[in-house]
Amino acid sequence: MRFEHLVRPAVRLMKPYTAGTTVAQAKARFGLKNVVKLSSNENPLGPSPRAMAALAAIPNAHIYVDDDHTELRTRLGERYGLTKDHVLVGHGSNDVLMTIFATFVDPGDEVVQADPTFSLFPKDTALFDAVAVRVPLVDGVHDLDAMLRAVTPKTKIVIVCDPNNPTGTRVEADAFARFAQALPPQVLLVIDQAYREYMPPGSVEGVEVVRSRPATIVMRTMSKLYGLASLRFGYGIADPEIVGYLQRVRLPFNVSRPAAIAALAALDDTDFVARTLDVNESGRAVLEREFTRLELPFFPTAANFIAVGVPVTATAAYDALLERGIVVRSGDGLGLPGFLRITIGTAAENKTLVGALDVLAAGWAAPRQRRLA
Ligand SMILES: Cc1ncc(COP(=O)(O)O)c(C=O)c1O
């Protein structure tokens, strides 16, 4: 450790972000030919075809992109009946999150968040020498009353992930409205809605909260529904004054020209969006039915993934599926031991998954029966 003394104390304690296993890693580990990747909640239909068509010719790669992203921000603002000045763009919504922390969080500030929730919340909290106040989920759902009780004069931000990663659960809209109004007005409410478009009718719409409670930022992404995960485009919606502070901090040119071109084209891809939502909805119904048949407990999901319980360790179940060419996410690394987080795939991918689980569940049932005997 020749350089550890140079590193900030907060960083010394940190681990790098662990992304899900890649297809190449899975193939290499077990010499597999075909791999089904259901680990990172990507779009199983691929990217938006309109985005791909627009990317066929990227003009002016040698010229810096319009850093104001006037057209894209205007379009995004209009979608919500707002203006360009309500929109901050980012290199994925991860970048928006980091910009929020860099803009608002001082050392010692408290950041109230669920446990477990998206891993970058505690990570960014630690990076900025703030204190993560982690409020356990109840039955897999944010405990809004307990989160409210956790607010102190030191609280800078309260983050709600809706739907929550890794559980896929959502908060109830009426309860959330009461919670948002009860939060002291000086506390910044951050609502991560990376999976908003998958949610059923009547779910929380973060942008409405921005209207009724100005100290609120909603984060959205085009990585999931629009299939642009690798292009990196996410955005935040907030009061123009808040966006103005964030604009001071974000990196210049943090959204590349290809990302901006793809995002703009994808916004018009209504066919693709409809197909994606159809495939997700039917896949959800199939997986929930099959998990019930296999007696595997799961959290009701409002997203494009399901957290399903297994009667062995999550890592053992993850390994067993990987050996069969299916990559999922082990809950062991996500604060959800005993569960796998599985992206809802195409009909064929879901069938492969269920086939593998059928075989594995028979093996899992045997020791259970032995124990009962
Ligand atoms: C809750 C949540 N927020 C944000 C992100 C990151 O999205 P992006 O690709 O826009 O950085 C993810 C991705 O998995 C997520 O699950």
Q: Domain check: are 27 and 141 in the same one?
A: no
Q: Domain check: are 224 and 199 in the same one?
A: yes
Asked if residue 53 belongs to a domain, the reply is yes
| Ligand 1 pocket at CB < 6 A | 41, 92-94, 118, 161, 165, 192, 194, 221, 223, 229, 234
Sheet holding 339-343, edge to edge: 305-309, 339-343, 329-330
Per-residue model confidence as pLDDT tens digits over 219-275: 999 999 999 999 999 999 999 999 999 999 999 999 999 999 999 999 999 999 999
Q: Which of 221, 228, 232, 342 to mutate to test the pocket of ligand 1 (most atoms within 8 A of CB)?
A: 221
Note down the domain range covering 197. 49-266
Q: Please tell me the predicted confidence (pLDDT) of residue 368.
A: 58
Tokens of 285: 């119904």
Asked if residue 229 belongs to a domain, the reply is yes
Query: Does pLDDT of 371 surpass 90?
Result: no
Query: Does pLDDT of 346 surpass 90?
Result: yes
Q: Domain check: are 144 and 205 in the same one?
A: yes
pLDDT, average across residues 321-341? 97
Q: Domain check: are 43 and 53 in the same one?
A: no
Asked if residue 5 belongs to a domain, the reply is no
Contacts of residues 313-321 at CB distance under 8 Å and 24 or more positions apart, as own/partner, are 313/337, 313/338, 314/338, 314/339, 314/340, 317/360, 320/356, 320/360, 321/353, 321/356, 321/357, 321/360
Other beta carbons less than 10 A from residue 123's beta carbon: 18
Query: Does pLDDT of 193 surpass 70?
Result: yes
Contact 233, 259 (CB under 8 A): yes
- Angle of helix 314-323 relative to helix 347-372, nearest 10 degrees, comes to 130
The CATH code of the domain that includes 295 is 3.90.1150.10
Q: Domain check: are 39 and 119 in the same one?
A: no
Pick the residue whose CA is nearest to atom 2 on ligand 1. 194
d(CA 335, CA 330): 9
Q: Which residues, in sequence order, are bridge partners of residue 341?
A: 307, 329
Q: Domain check: are 279 and 332 in the same one?
A: yes
Q: Domain check: are 318 and 239 in the same one?
A: no
Asked if residue 8 belongs to a domain, the reply is no
Asked if residue 7 belongs to a domain, the reply is no
Asked if residue 10 belongs to a domain, the reply is no
pLDDT, average across residues 333-342? 97
Pick from 266, 285, 308: which residue ends a domain? Answer: 266
d(CA 147, CA 155): 11
Pick from 198, 233, 266: which residue ends a domain? Answer: 266
Contact 105, 123 (CB under 8 A): no
In this prediction, residue 2 has a pLDDT band, given cuts at 50, 70 and 90, of: very high
Q: Is 227 left (phi over 0), alpha (psi -120 to 50) or beta?
A: left
Q: Domain check: are 293 and 221 in the same one?
A: no
Distance from the alpha carbon of residue 262 to the mean position of ligand 1, in angstroms: 18
Query: Does pLDDT of 372 surpass 90?
Result: no
Q: Domain check: are 359 and 276 in the same one?
A: yes
Distance from the alpha carbon of residue 368 to the mean position of ligand 1, in angstroms: 37
Candidates 42, 20, 285, 342; CA nearest to 168 is 342
In this prediction, residue 365 has a pLDDT band, given cuts at 50, 70 and 90, of: confident
Q: Domain check: are 197 and 207 in the same one?
A: yes
How many CA atoms are closer than 13 Å to the CA of 190, on its beta-carbon side? 29
| CA-based end-to-end distance of the chain | 54
Distance from the alpha carbon of residue 226 to the mean position of ligand 1, in angstroms: 13
Q: Please tell me the predicted confidence (pLDDT) of residue 370.
A: 53
Pick the residue whose CA is nearest to atom 3 on ligand 1. 194
d(CA 105, CA 124): 10
At 333, the amino acid letter reads G
pLDDT, average across residues 144-148? 98
Candidates 19, 38, 26; CA nearest to 319 is 26
Atom of ligand 1 nearest to the CA of 234: 10
Asked if residue 11 belongs to a domain, the reply is no
Distance from the alpha carbon of residue 118 to the mean position of ligand 1, in angstroms: 8
Asked if residue 3 belongs to a domain, the reply is no
The CATH code of the domain that includes 89 is 3.40.640.10
Atom of ligand 1 nearest to the CA of 118: 1
Q: How many structural domains does the chain have?
A: 2
Pick the residue whose CA is nearest to atom 16 on ligand 1. 165
d(CA 340, CA 348): 19
Q: Domain check: are 168 and 206 in the same one?
A: yes
d(CA 18, CA 123): 12
Please tell me the pTM assigned to this model: 0.96
At 296, the amino acid letter reads L
Pick from 235, 266, 297: which residue ends a domain? Answer: 266
C-alpha pair distances (Å), 147 with each of 136, 190, 207, 238: 9, 13, 21, 22
Q: Domain check: are 142 and 229 in the same one?
A: yes
